[in-house]
């Protein structure tokens, strides 16, 4: 499933979570627990990026698990919440990012899920045109009944 982010587009994309043709290994309705986890987690992923497009990482920070650690594509090493807060401060006022998100698949085992998706950024947050493709995984855990991001990794998509 693709989602072009901007506020209205993100909300519109939520309605397409179970459309046929989504790039997923499972058929909607095959596993209700998987479907529910996917819907909840993908909604949170879209909201995190929508906030990022406004220069606001508070939704991301509010959805991180204890001991969160992730590896952004341009960092030499993974970073935790402190690094995410610093990035958020640098993003203040930079609200022009535009990107598409395409859900690929999700692994689910109990209270742990790994979501796989790709993004295509066509404009950076400062308004600079771009044509950047990334591959992303986020590992989510259910803490106190709520899905939270525990870790992740993103990379620039290699030429294939």
Q: What is the pLDDT of residues 139-157, one digit of tens each?
A: 999 999 999 999 999 999 9
Tens digit of each residue's pLDDT (9 = 90 or more) over 88-140: 888 888 899 999 999 999 999 999 999 999 999 999 999 999 999 999 999 99
**pLDDT beyond 50 at 11:** no
Q: Any idea what DSSP says for residue 94?
A: -
The residue written with tokens 């006022």 in the block is: 93
Phi, then psi, of 24 in degrees rounded to 5: -140, 155
HSE-CB of 119 using CA atoms within 13 angstroms? 23
Tens digit of each residue's pLDDT (9 = 90 or more) over 15-68: 344 433 445 467 778 899 999 999 999 999 999 999 999 999 999 999 999 999
Distance CA 57, CA 84 (A): 8
Phi, then psi, of 100 in degrees rounded to 5: -105, 145
């Amino acid at each position: 499933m693709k989602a072009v982010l901007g506020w209205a587009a993100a909300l519109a994309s939520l309605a397409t979570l179970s459309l046929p043709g989504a790039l997923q290994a499972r058929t909607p309705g095959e596993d209700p627990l998987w479907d529910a986890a996917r819907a909840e987690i993908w909604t949170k992923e879209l909201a995190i990026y929508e906030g990022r497009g406004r220069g606001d990482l508070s939704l991301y920070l509010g959805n991180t698990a204890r001991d969160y650690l992730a590896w952004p594509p341009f960092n030499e090493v993974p970073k935790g919440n402190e690094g995410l807060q610093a990035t958020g401060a640098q993003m203040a006022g930079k609200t022009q990012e535009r990107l598409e998100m395409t859900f690929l698949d999700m692994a689910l085992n109990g209270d742990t899920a790994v979501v796989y998706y790709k993004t295509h950024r066509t404009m950076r947050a400062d308004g600079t045109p771009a044509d950047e493709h990334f591959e992303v995984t986020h590992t989510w855990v259910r803490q106190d009944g709520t899905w939270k991001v525990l870790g992740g990794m993103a990379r620039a998509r290699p030429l294939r």
